[in-house]
Amino acid sequence: MKGIVLAGGLGTRLNPLTKLLNKHVLPVYDKPMFYYSLQTLVESGTKQIAVVSGPPFGAQIKELLKHFRFPKDCRTFFIDQPTPAGMPDAIRRCKTFAGKEPVMVIAGDNIYERGFAEETRSFTGGAVSFLRRTDDANRFGVPIYDIDGKLIGIIEKPVNIVSDWVVTGPHIFDNRVFHLIDNLRPSSRGELEIADLNIEYLKLGSLKLVKRFDYWSDVGTYDSLLSASLYIRSKLKR
């Protein structure tokens, strides 16, 4: 299994800092934000990792990538995404990198308490994503179930929130992911959505959503940036 870190986009919720900086280089306590995603992939057992980023500040990611302390048996690659066209678009650009292997995809602004080595070892195919509780479900994809409790869909960034459980990463996909991305169409935001990619697997009966209860943060706002920094600081002091 190969790892993919998504570190592109414009990070508009963190303006004005992101007028001059890639969001993923902002510090979460004492490290650049995307270093935590890299560490999660390393702890999960991936030995080859691609980092996807692009204009206007992708060069900052590429430079900082040189200073992350990877294990000696780990290889890294930088892949350019010319325009921020969504997570599935970034994944698609890793097709050559992935070869015939499955991929574990993690957003560069997500921080996890522990890795996913057990999930990568036990992965046999399809798609696996994770469910976590949050107070701001309108920022994420929310799973929808029928009256019998069967998963029937995922609504991306819903206006009317029907659950505090949301679909989070990392996302583990078998190699069909690159074919399925070709079935997607841009959303109203003009981007390919990760929720729509998961729905393609759902149509095939190949999507698994796993509940997790350990610490997780999507560091996309100033409040979450501060709270994640305080959490890391507290954890290190303990």
Rounded to 10°, the helix 58-65/33-43 angle is: 50
Contact 23, 14 (CB under 8 A): yes
**Quick one: pLDDT at residue 36?**
97
d(CA 9, CA 53): 8
CA 165 to CA 141: how far, in whole Å?
Answer: 9
Report the distance separating Cα 73 and Cα 41, nearest Å.
Answer: 13
Q: What is the pLDDT of residue 23?
A: 96
Range of the domain at 133: 2-237
Alpha-carbon distance of 107 to 113, in angstroms, equals: 15
For position 107, which CATH number holds?
Answer: 3.90.550.10
pLDDT score, position 169: 92
By three-state DSSP, how is residue 176 classified? coil
| Nearest residue to 34 via CA among 64, 59, 54 | 64
Confirm if 130 and 170 have CB atoms less than 8 A apart: yes
Q: What is the pLDDT of residue 164?
A: 84
Instruction: Output the pLDDT for position 236.
Output: 84
**For the chain, which ranges sit under pLDDT 50?**
none
How many domains, the chain?
A: 1
Q: What pLDDT score does 68 carry?
A: 94
